[in-house]
Structure 1
């Protein structure tokens, strides 16, 4: 393989444009992001391996955020690197995979308590539940047994119950996860919930409180916080249409 790949792997390279030629082949214009030097590669085929769902972060804000006495971060791009979580009350806004990742980060760095607030429930599971799904045998149709699925799901429900966490509303509708969501994997969320360090809430922020102590929800409830981490999703990645025209 090294004979075929040697010298053909490029890093620090941005694809600027892909043009299809009359003969069905392609010219790919690239730029070295360090030197700025542009180069054209001729290819018989082009395959894009990019994430369409994760583009630029969805920027959100709420009234009176300037009065907040704590810190506000986005939960992407290493913004929380260096944040002082020790003994702090942390509010993570969002219910997707990035939100649960930031819950883990806050707990592992000594947060006093973490609340995850989403407009709807997300779904997360312990690692062992996730692993069992990959290790269980498959039948001739590449499916696992229904009886085993029921046992795993019952154990999963008990994990929520034992941790004192609310179960996802979508389960009542027979869905494992909300539409357009992924299932997050987080042992820490369940361990922290069991020890009273983590809580799941459903609601929306209306504004930051006037005294700077946290946020007020549209329901009228208040959540105290020292750190707010915004994990409010992404815009669709539109880089490919820009490159191909």
Structure 2
């Protein structure tokens, strides 16, 4: 067994019902893809996205609450995502950590809830620009991994995404050596913490686009990407999918 290749798109707070034509285009153009294809749209679009994905495009949530139900206005549970047809959920994205003050413990609780509901948790880690400049990157990533991955995590229910905060939406990317260094660290740190650590899919995220996808996917321990803006257009995301298939 080897890690599954995964091209995941995070639409963030973008998209309407009119955007389903992009899902249609992906399903029509990449039905024979060797990699898994995932789109994580805003919550209100999950059900129609599942329908338009036709089983070819997997659909996921962008976040979930740690509780399965209750008085949590505006939140959504992992069970509700599953009920709508989602297969995955992103937890611990840097925007959630920064904008909502989510700690590693919060992320681990959400990932555990995702696992309990039958979803695959995409657990995000990444350093800020200040941490990178201070030479703290590897320490930060190791600490986030140790605190954000719940007990019971396995290659079957967990994906790890490395997204340097300073590279998200900025057009900047780490050097290939920097990406490879972090992914090697992650693979090593997962040993003993995740069942089947060698088979956990490790994604890179942060200004991934058609122009740089192939060289990123050629790096050791990079099994795919978590893509932001470039996933909003089927033509751009399709080129990234094609690059991953060729890797």
Normalised by the length of structure 2, the TM-score is: 0.30
Rg larger for: 1
Higher relative contact order structure (alpha carbons within 8 Å, sequence separation ≥ 6):
1
Higher strand share: 1
Higher helix share: 2
